[in-house]
Amino acid sequence: MPRGRSATYADQHEAILAHAAELFAARGYPGTSMNEVATACGLTKPALYHYVRDKEALLLQICQQHIARLQALVASVQAQGLSGEAQLRALILAFVRAYADAQGEHRVLTEDVRFLGEAERSVVLDGQRQVVAAFAEAVAQVRPALAAASLHKPLTMLLFGMINWMFTWLQPDGPLTHDDMAPVVADLFVGGLLALQTPALQAST
Amino acid sequence: MPRGRSATYADQHEAILAHAAELFAARGYPGTSMNEVATACGLTKPALYHYVRDKEALLLQICQQHIARLQALVASVQAQGLSGEAQLRALILAFVRAYADAQGEHRVLTEDVRFLGEAERSVVLDGQRQVVAAFAEAVAQVRPALAAASLHKPLTMLLFGMINWMFTWLQPDGPLTHDDMAPVVADLFVGGLLALQTPALQAST
DNA sequence: CCTACCGATCGGTAGG
DNA sequence: CCTACCGATCGGTAGG
């Protein structure tokens, strides 16, 4: 590589996002100083600011990059043209597995979006809504009666709860892996969906 | 009601914990200043420090108080002497409903325990483990084969994921309430549990 | 119980 | 004149 600068710059920027995501995930966004981010990257603080405008831009870029990956994942599953239940299972498997490689980014996305400014936050939340909508559509296809009772979206959020909560108890180096849990999550949720009695749900209100 | 005199030390302390829990839940522990806590309580900062030793003690008290409530809830359900599935359903209903009244405290318990010192943190985590163990025991009673496959605890954590995640999407003043969702969570989880095929789970590893 | 402060550290940027 | 940084320090605010 004779012209190393732009490649180095892009690589450095990528490495910074990865380090920052890990730190934000571990200590929270307000609990992480730019000095800590810089040190983790082997840079001084002024050097860090050469690559990042400010702390909030760092947070926004982490969130945008991760949500873009999730949207691409949804698109690739949808491109397979699977039927209702098969598509829902494929979405669940893809997401659980994807989170294994991006635990830090995912925790930042779910916990630290609130620290973005209103405009930046709504961009990220719109992306999240699109992902949720894809899952909710698959849920509705599996059990159309739930959609009629307006329960497909709440049920989809329960599914995301199971998945999003996994980082709190599933250790990356533990005996149980994300790949082990992916089919369990799919079986539990799809099995539960099929077992749900919509009349009973309506009677509960 | 004129201010000041009528509030006892204990009342004031209780009010401080409630306000602090709400602020910590909204802005995160490191993102909340003691000045903000004081202002929310209608106190000056030095006055706040009359009731609380330091910021970390405030966090610890919020966590301990909330985990004690959850342990009491488990005990009261266990005292009913219900059978496996009925007990699991009763635990789920009790927890979902309890979280409706303590959303701030619960978010603090799940997100901000990491900011406690090691000794304080492990006290809180021990309390959480006891609660989780009670749920896992109920899960094992419903499907003993899952316990044999060491899946009752991971499945219990998926359940807690559904419940703990609800604060992110279930608005207190929205059309759907915690009371509406409690039986849905119970039906989905118990239905999914009963649908799980253990051989398929073991084949996945 | 308030005003007045401290050591340190915050996010961000100056000159060279 | 540009880039990629450094040592030092900016104005404010943190917990106490």
pLDDT tens string B40-66: 998 888 889 989 999 999 999 999 999
- pLDDT tens column, A12-35: 899 999 999 999 999 999 999 999
For residue A183, the number of C-alpha atoms closer than 13 Å in the C-beta half-sphere is: 13
Using CB atoms, pick whichever of B160, B164, B192 lies closest to residue A192.
B192
**pLDDT at position A189:** 98
Contact residues, chain B, for A174 at CB < 8 Å:
none
Q: Which residue out of A188, A193, A201 would a mutagenesis test of the B interface target, given it has the greatest number of B Cβ atoms within 10 Å?
A: A188
Q: Which residue has the higher pLDDT, A1 or B123?
A: B123
Query: Coil, strand, or helix at residue A200?
Result: helix
B34-40: average pLDDT? 91
Q: Looking at the whole model, is its pTM more than 0.85? A: yes
* pLDDT at res. B11: 84
Residue nearest to nucleotide D13 (CA to C1'): B33
Which of B28, B164, B191 minimises the CB distance to A191? B191
Q: What is the pLDDT of residues B61-104, one digit of tens each?
A: 999 999 999 999 999 999 999 989 999 999 999 999 999 999 99
Do A166 and A119 contact (CB within 8 A), yes or no? no
CA of A27 to C1' of C7 (A): 23
Amino acid at A166: M
CB-CB under 8 Å, B154 with A158: no
Q: How far is B166 from chain A (nearest CA, A)?
A: 7
Contact B200 A194 (CB under 8 A): no
Averaged pLDDT for residues A81-92: 96
Question: What does the pLDDT read at residue B198?
Answer: 66
pLDDT of A6 over the 60 cut: no
Is there a contact between B155 and B99 (Cβ–Cβ < 8 Å)?
Answer: no
Lowest mean pLDDT among A70-79, A105-114, A190-199, B156-165: A190-199
Q: Work out the pLDDT band at B203, boundaries 50, 70, 90.
A: very low
Q: C14 C1' – A35 CA distance, angstroms?
A: 18
Q: Which residue of A has its CA nearest to B161?
A: A162
Going by pLDDT thresholds of 50, 70 and 90, the confidence category of residue B7 is low
Q: Which residue is nearest to nucleotide D14 (CA to C1')?
A: B33
Mean pLDDT, chain B, integer: 90
Token pair of A102, please? 């991006």
The tokens describing A27, both together, are 């200590």
Q: Which nucleotide is nearest to B47 (CA to C1')?
A: C1
Question: Which residues of chain A does B185 touch, with a Cβ-Cβ cutoff of 8 Å?
Answer: 158
- C-alpha distances out from residue B62 to A28, A35, A178, Å: 19, 30, 32
- For residues B114 and B120, what is the distance between their CA atoms, to the nearest angstrom? 10
Own/partner contacts of A143-147, CB < 8 Å, gap of 24 or more, are A143/A193, A143/A194, A143/A196, A143/A198, A145/A198, A146/A193, A146/A196, A146/A198
B115: chain A residues, CB-CB within 8 Å: 28, 31
**Residue A199 pLDDT > 60, yes or no?**
no
